[in-house]
Amino acid sequence: MTRRALIAGNWKMHMTTADAEVLASQVAEASKDATDRDVLVAPPFTAIGAVTAALEGSAVIVAGQNVCWEEQGAFTGEISPVMLKDLGATAAIVGHSERRQIFGESDQLINQRVVGGLKFGLTVVLCIGETLEEREAEQTLTILEKQVRGGLDGITPKDMTRVVIAYEPVWAIGTGKTASTAKAEEAHAFIRKLIGDLYEKDIADQMRILYGGSVKPANVDELMAQPDIDGALVGGAALDAESFQRIINFK
Ligand code: 13P
């Protein structure tokens, strides 16, 4: 089964509108020949409109960095799936470890976001990953299973075609430490097997599982060579057009 690779840049809380426009144009240029893979950027909410405008005519996908489950209402500080779509986004990242760790988002809350994003037609990138403490206590696979089961609770097989999973070990995010390719592959294979058990093998086989955590030009080729690593969710290196271009064009 060959899965189409997906290289995603999570811009986190960076970029003014003007900076985002420049970077988006550079990403469009950098990815124009990469027709055998998908490229996604997740700007801050404030820059999504400018980014989709700058990307017009390009195949780059635009995502929100989070999404609420309701169309509108009294949800101060949140963004609705309809608002994301209104700005031209077609996807949303959900359950990023920064949402879990800093803002206390639970698997149950994250599941509501997954359900809501899918209900309104978005592609959802569900992030999961263990902390250093959990890894040292040898709980990695248990934690991943809990986050997958919790995050995907109630999701139908049909909707699973619009779900991407991103495995991001928390200890590898922004630290310069990457999981060894063997450890990353082990986690990815485990997640795929679990999806096969929860759904069916076909769904597991077509599901894209991205790796995230200090992905950079120097390590992307080796990561992407692993059979169960189908793409990358890139933080810091996605803010630099030259580095992101190299990552998009992994070999
Ligand atoms: P870094 O690539 O900066 O480690 O960030 C990874 C990440 O959290 C992407 O969502």
For position 1, what pLDDT does the model report? 63
Ligand 1 atom having least distance to the Cα of 238: 2
Phi, then psi, of 7 in degrees rounded to 5 = -110, 120
**Is 168 close to ligand 1, i.e. is its CB under 6 Å away?**
yes
Is pTM beyond 0.85 here?
yes
For position 175, what pLDDT does the model report? 87
C-alpha span between 171 and 174 (Å, rounded): 8
Report percent pLDDT > 70 for the chain.
100
> Would you please indicate which residues are annotated as catalytic (active-site) residues?
96, 168
**CA 72 – ligand 1 centroid, Å:** 30
With a cut of 90, say whether residue 158 has pLDDT above it: yes
**CA 84 – ligand 1 centroid, Å:** 22
Model pLDDT for residues 32-84, shown as the tens digit of each residue = 999 999 999 999 999 999 999 999 999 999 999 999 999 999 999 999 999 99
**CA 223 – ligand 1 centroid, Å:** 15
For position 61, what pLDDT does the model report? 98
Among 125, 173, 177, 220, name the best residue to mutate to test ligand 1's pocket (greatest count of ligand atoms within 8 A of Cβ): 173
Model pLDDT for residues 170-197, shown as the tens digit of each residue = 999 888 887 899 999 999 999 999 999 9
Our measurement of the distance from residue 158's CA atom to the centroid of its chain's CA atoms, rounded to an integer in Å, reads: 20
Model pLDDT for residues 100-151, shown as the tens digit of each residue = 999 999 999 999 999 999 999 999 999 999 999 999 999 999 999 999 999 9
DSSP string computed for the chain: -PPPEEEEEE-TT---HHHHHHHHHHHHHHHTT-TTEEEEEE--GGGHHHHHHHTTTS--EEEES---SSSSSS-TT---HHHHHHTT--EEEES-HHHHHHH---HHHHHHHHHHHHHTT-EEEEEE---HHHHHTT-HHHHHHHHHHHHTTT--TTGGGGEEEEE--GGGSSSS----HHHHHHHHHHHHHHHHHHS-HHHHHH--EEEESS--HHHHHHHHTSTT--EEEESGGGGSHHHHHHHHT--
For position 174, what pLDDT does the model report? 86
Ligand 1 atom having least distance to the Cα of 237: 2
Ligand 1 atom having least distance to the Cα of 96: 10
For position 76, what pLDDT does the model report? 98
